Structure 1
Amino acid sequence: MFQAIKTLNRPFVFVFFCFLSLSLFATEPGTRTKECSKSEPGVPAEFLLSRGLREQVDGFQAAQRRKPEDSKLSFERSVSFLESYHLCLLEAGKEPSALSAETLSLNYLELGSLEKAWEWSEKAISQSPEVSKDQILLQTRIRIRQGELAKASEVLENSLYKFPNDPDFLYLLGNLNFERKLWNQSILYYTALSFVIERRDTHSKYKFLTAKALGELNYKLDHPKIAIKRYGEYIAGYKNDIEVLFRLAQIYFVLGDFKHCRMYLEQIREKNPRDIDASHMLAEIYFMDSRDSAPIYFATLRKEKKIPKEGIVFLLDKLISGSKTGLETKLRSYIQENPGRLSPRVALLELAEKEKLSDYEILNADTAQYAYEYRQYLTAEKILRSGLSKINSKENADEDKSLYYEKISSCQEMLGLWNHAVMSTKESLRLTNETEKKFRLRFRLAYLYLQGNLKKESHAVSVLSETIKENPNPTHYYLRGLAYFQLSKYKESVDDFTAAIKIDPNNFNYYFYRATAFDKLKQFSDTESDLKTTLSLNPNASNAMNYLGYLYAEKDINPEEATKLLNQAISLEPDNPAFQDSLGWVLYRKKDFNRALLHLNFAASLALERGFEDPVIYEHLGDVYLAKKDPVNALQFFKLSESKLKAEPNKDLLAKIKKLQKEISE
């Protein structure tokens, strides 16, 4: 852990003082004056400093040779020389130097005297014209040794704007926040570090460590596709890391991508034939996804003697081999003891279908529900369609069929098959005669029209308008308000959000989205009022904090309140690129350009990690560089912003590009 913190390196600084002291001893004989009560006559106080530095180097060298007692003695002698040196300075009416204070702090750290180490590190900083990287890392080490990880993070964060692209700082902050289980904060710094590595330090020692950390963090934060990308970068350098290969198999399993899941499990079996977990997980995958190949794989496991005498693999092997005696009872018992497993439910459902068990429909619904909850949407849809085929022949089963189509639609929605989801919802709506269910399905149909690339906002408005006549529910007004907003009909959008608020005045979402519509209508006071109401109803509404803070920055009003709001939003969602961009823009408005660049670079790296590039962030970066009188970088980001625009050309941006090009050419 904390590999970036190294021993402070002052190559042979003490040698200079050694030569200095020898030259002083070589002066012509005679009466020598005594400079200090702690030194010999004619010997300058700096000789004590040089001895302290030399003893410190000896201490580190002894530690490297694994001689802890010798190391401890050298550090203790170094402390003694440095304390004598400081006494000499005191007698001369002088303060300790930054170098001697920092050296003494490091000695105390190595000796475990952490309070004294911190005290002298503070003295070193107070004596320095500018705080150095080594001083910050020293204080970080002290806080870590004290077990104060939050304070260690604070030390680094307070100085990060001075070293925004320093890999050691970013790695340590990622690591510290990971140890504190602050996943979103950790992902912010690791993502920024990855950004630096890709653009400035492609051979960084942190390259693979960062990729692995980002894989783990994105897995924890439920960003499976990004986790796959980052783990893939890591195993490009560490192909035999079984733990990561298994994690990749798990992620693909969760995504329902059994093909890639099998691929990684088979790699594990090839690299480590004795691995039982991968062999058994692969057995479940073959059973659920590849029934034609499953008998061959289970035969291989029998040959390898990897079929246990009990457990799920044993039960699946019995079903595949056709041995059904007592299997129903054993499967039901196993499910009761292991309610979270999907494969035994699939096995029992298959057995129920073959044996025509009376509770097949119940098992079908339950198994599909479990598959859906485990995000196995293809498996869930397959199960539901099998159940649907069983009731198609029944009379008066329209309501049951309607329920099946509604559930199938949900699976299709999660798979991003928007048109299929719309068609299934329409079929469900056609089959039902229940009034409340019709309202629910119409709402769902309108919601689907607004998703993905369908762009059928007018259809959504039409469906909701029909429903509102019969059932003026606030959620119906709310969704129609969103549809109108997407159609750029902002007045109609405001009217619908207002209608929703009249029915349900305590729903903070209605005020937030009405604020966004007011903003489009250039009604600032109404926008501000609704955002403040949103925050009064929900003090943790980070989107409202960000929106209001950014509006204040854009209008150059309430700068302190804007900064406060945006810092609050970032404390809730540190890895939100929009929030980082807003804070960067506020800092730019306050002419705090270095801190502005830090947060805007955070925003750019986080956006890239999420798979998109925001032209607004790039334009803001260009504006900051322009303010810092760096026209080359400013032009680069203005051009990048212009290249990412999808709507109409930004005339102001084009004017800035043209002006800069002319200035640079001249």
Structure 2
Amino acid sequence: MFQAIKTLNYPFLFVFFCFLTVLPNQADPKPKQKDCSLLEPGVPSEFLLSRGIQEQITAYKANHTQKLAEAKQSFETSISLLDKYHECQKEKGKGPSAQSAELQAQNYLEIGNTAKAWEWSEIAKREGKELTKEIVVLQMRIRLREQNLVQATEVLEKDLVHFPNDPDFLYLLGNLYFERKMWNQSVLYYTALSFVIERRDNYSKYKFNTEKALGDLNYKLDYPKIAIKHFSEYNKAYRNDMEVLFRLAQIYFVLGDFKMSKFYLEQIRERNVRDIDASHMLAEIYFLDARDVSSQFFTTLREEKKIPKEGLITLLNQLVVGSTFGLEEKLKNFIKTNPARLTPRVALLELADKNGDPSYHQINAETAQYAYEYRQYTLALKILTKGYQKLEPTDENLNLRVVYLEKISACQEMLGYWNHSILSIKQAIALSNDLDQKFKMRFRLAYLYLQGNLKKEQTSVDILSNTIAENPNPTHYYLRGLSYFQLGKYKESVKDYSEAIQIDPKNANFYFYRASAYDKLKQFEETESDLKKTISLNPNASNAMNYLGYLYAEKDKYPEEANSLLNKAISLEPDNPAYQDSLGWVYYRKKEFNLALLHLNFAASLALERGFEDPVIYEHLGDVYLAKKDPVNAVQFYKLSLAKDKQASNKELASKIKRVEKEISQ
């Protein structure tokens, strides 16, 4: 302390000497000039700006403490001071600054005058040396205050190209589209945000909100496995979120994975002993999946006093304990008022089996169909197999046995049991005496040989050739055309699609697939013509729009038309990675590299979200970075493309990598 006193204070001395130099001038003051007619002489106009800022800060503080009347008064005072500042600027031949205009826009927004707020925000945008994130977000807030979600979204999307990887922008856009119930657009931006967080900002404040949003969105868009991935990631941080635990249980239930569904339902029961919904859903799962031991769980529910006085669980409990008096009528009434429920149908089928009901097979068929529609393929297969086994192999039951085998084959197909599915449909064909039915089943058999890892295209061609000889149906030509295409026999493919078109000239799909074959044959005019015909027959044929737009971009033809086609395709399917890639490539061709990067990054993130990595997208990203004179990033994406390319070797890309690496080393 004493040492400090002894030490000379140099800043103080400097100010002191400056003060001494000013003293003589005090004795002989010069007349002060007026900076503005609204101010006293010697007072700079910036004083008004400073006072306006101070009043705004005071207003925000009053808002924070819920002193709304004081806040409003301070905002109005700030407006008045800034108006005077702008008058002074006008006297000096100057306009408002970007800062003062933005402050004024904020003031007007806070007092609810959105028209004035927008006017001043536009001035701020115009006067700024560069576009700032703050002014764009302010304009979005103005549109939100007007309760105009569409225009709020447009504000952000218009300027997103300047902030393509900004988490705030992506989160806000994802949120706005979610509020508008536009799930595909919402998933686009949340997926892009997830991509940014994973690679740049793993501790982002948005991380877990994004995981939950993507879980919800993918569930709505029928991507259950992707939804599970995001909900599970969210669940690591928020283990007691009962809503998410229950949603996970529901998704696994839909997928037919009863084991995992039970896992999450048991967690809910452990953490919330009073929960009813999880307990009742568990009861349904035990009934559907573990009928032999379900009585034990129903005993537990009775002990917990969780069997209601009426409803489905009451009816299931009655069946489990063996009290079937009046149960059939009750189940039928419940099904009538709740036609979308599967479990009561399974209960009714069990009751029909026990009672030897003559309508058993009809109930079996209906129950299996519902199970199939709800993607409970294992359960549907189990029901159908039991029904088939109950049939006597008599001529009287021949048609019913064929129908059972067809449906069993369909379930096996959906479960990926390709060989079993083929065997079942072959049995059905062998049993059937109905020629039209045989044609349909032979078509299905040919289709099955193209699926999964079988890839027996020639077998499919042979089956269809025999069928076409007897029944030249357009769908048979179409499928054989597809088989030829997969065999690389593009001329034969074109011929078959042409035959299908001749029989059914209004089918847009036939033109689209013929265009694909023409493209392989390098016949551009024919490809273009068929894609245009596809779009004329189906104005929502986004696949044809994407294909044609990309072709135009590749050939440097009709850039505006390509841009229009691809934007239309994306408006129909904004979360399609192929479409985003195509639009990015169009922008690359137009040398609009920032827009190209925006859409190519969308494409890369969406592809990853869907569980694959497209080497074409990565190569396109490399091309854009190279065009932007960023060879380091270009090489990174070229190498990624080469690593993901399934071709034995991509000599052209390998050569490109060597060339760019040489450029970097120099």
With the shorter chain as reference, the TM-score category is over 0.9
8 Å CA contact 1:255, 1:376 repeated in 2: yes
Deviation at 1:596, TM superposition (A): 0.3
Counterparts of 1:133-282 in structure 2 under 5 Å?
133-282=133-282
Partner SS for 1:253: helix
Partner of 2:454: 454
Deviation at 1:30, TM superposition (A): 4.5
Partner of 1:639: 639
Partner of 1:369: 369
CA distance in 2, matches of 1:466, 1:648: 36
CA distance in 2, matches of 1:64, 1:72: 12
CA distance in 1, matches of 2:648, 2:294: 55
Report the TM-score, using the length of structure 2 for normalisation: 0.95
Structure 2 residue identity aligned to 1:145: R
Q: Tell me the percent identity.
A: 67
Structure 2 residue identity aligned to 1:354: K
Partner of 2:5: none
Structure 2 residue identity aligned to 1:267: Q
1:205-256 C-alpha deviation (Å, 9 max, x unpaired): 0000000110111011111110110111111111111111111111111111
Structure 2 residue identity aligned to 1:601: N
Partner of 1:289: 289
Structure 2 residue identity aligned to 1:525: E
Structure 2 residue identity aligned to 1:532: K
8 Å CA contact 1:190, 1:210 repeated in 2: yes
Partner of 1:572: 572
CA distance in 2, matches of 1:315, 1:546: 53
Partner of 1:589: 589
8 Å CA contact 1:105, 1:116 repeated in 2: yes
Partner of 2:476: 476
Partner of 1:546: 546
Deviation at 1:540, TM superposition (A): 1.3
CA distance in 2, matches of 1:562, 1:264: 48
Partner of 2:515: 515
Deviation at 1:590, TM superposition (A): 0.8
Partner of 1:84: 84
Deviation at 1:581, TM superposition (A): 0.3
Deviation at 1:470, TM superposition (A): 0.5
1:446-499 C-alpha deviation (Å, 9 max, x unpaired): 111111211111111011000000000011000100010000000000000000
Deviation at 1:313, TM superposition (A): 0.7
Partner SS for 1:323: coil
1:95-131 C-alpha deviation (Å, 9 max, x unpaired): 1111000000001111111100000000111111211
Say whether 1:349 aligns with 2:362.
no
Partner SS for 1:36: coil
CA distance in 2, matches of 1:325, 1:562: 69
Partner of 2:623: 623
Say whether 1:310 aligns with 2:335.
no
8 Å CA contact 1:312, 1:344 repeated in 2: yes
- RMSD, aligned CA: 1.3
Aligned residues: 642
Structure 2 residue identity aligned to 1:237: A
Deviation at 1:140, TM superposition (A): 0.6
Q: Which has the larger radius of gyration?
A: 2
Partner of 1:659: 659
Structure 1 residue identity aligned to 2:486: Q
CA distance in 1, matches of 2:330, 2:568: 54
Deviation at 1:662, TM superposition (A): 2.2
CA distance in 1, matches of 2:268, 2:470: 59
CA distance in 1, matches of 2:392, 2:642: 56
Partner of 2:503: 503
Say whether 1:485 aligns with 2:485.
yes
8 Å CA contact 1:392, 1:401 repeated in 2: no
Structure 2 residue identity aligned to 1:96: P
8 Å CA contact 1:224, 1:251 repeated in 2: yes
1:128-175 C-alpha deviation (Å, 9 max, x unpaired): 121111110100100111111111111111111111100000000000
Structure 2 residue identity aligned to 1:231: F
CA distance in 1, matches of 2:66, 2:665: 61
CA distance in 2, matches of 1:450, 1:508: 22
Structure 1 residue identity aligned to 2:624: V
1:535-570 C-alpha deviation (Å, 9 max, x unpaired): 111111111111111111111111111111111111
Partner of 1:467: 467
CA distance in 1, matches of 2:204, 2:362: 56
Partner of 1:19: none
8 Å CA contact 1:442, 1:467 repeated in 2: yes
Structure 2 residue identity aligned to 1:609: E
8 Å CA contact 1:618, 1:638 repeated in 2: yes
8 Å CA contact 1:460, 1:483 repeated in 2: yes
1:356-376 C-alpha deviation (Å, 9 max, x unpaired): 112111111111111111111
1:483-540 C-alpha deviation (Å, 9 max, x unpaired): 1000000000000000001111111111111000000000011111111111111111
Deviation at 1:65, TM superposition (A): 2.3
Partner of 2:525: 525
Deviation at 1:633, TM superposition (A): 0.5
Partner SS for 1:84: helix
CA distance in 2, matches of 1:398, 1:120: 80
Partner SS for 1:292: helix
CA distance in 1, matches of 2:420, 2:69: 74
Q: Which runs of 5+ in 2 are unaligned?
A: 1-21
Counterparts of 1:49-128 in structure 2 under 5 Å?
49-128=49-128
Partner of 1:379: 379
CA distance in 1, matches of 2:638, 2:294: 56
1:64-113 C-alpha deviation (Å, 9 max, x unpaired): 22222222222111111101101111122211111000000001111111
Structure 2 residue identity aligned to 1:643: A
8 Å CA contact 1:287, 1:294 repeated in 2: yes
Partner SS for 1:266: helix
CA distance in 2, matches of 1:163, 1:620: 20
1:343-400 C-alpha deviation (Å, 9 max, x unpaired): 1111111111111112111111111111111111111111111110111354442221
Structure 1 residue identity aligned to 2:614: D
CA distance in 1, matches of 2:25, 2:194: 57
Deviation at 1:291, TM superposition (A): 1.6
Partner of 1:428: 428
- Deviating beyond 4 angstroms after TM superposition, the runs of 4 or more aligned structure 1 residues are 26-30
Partner of 1:360: 360
8 Å CA contact 1:215, 1:226 repeated in 2: yes
CA distance in 2, matches of 1:273, 1:40: 75
8 Å CA contact 1:171, 1:193 repeated in 2: yes
Deviation at 1:293, TM superposition (A): 2.5
8 Å CA contact 1:156, 1:173 repeated in 2: yes
Q: Which runs of 5+ in 1 are unaligned?
A: 1-23
Q: Which moved more, 1:420-429 or 1:296-305?
A: 420-429
Report the TM-score, using the length of structure 1 for normalisation: 0.95
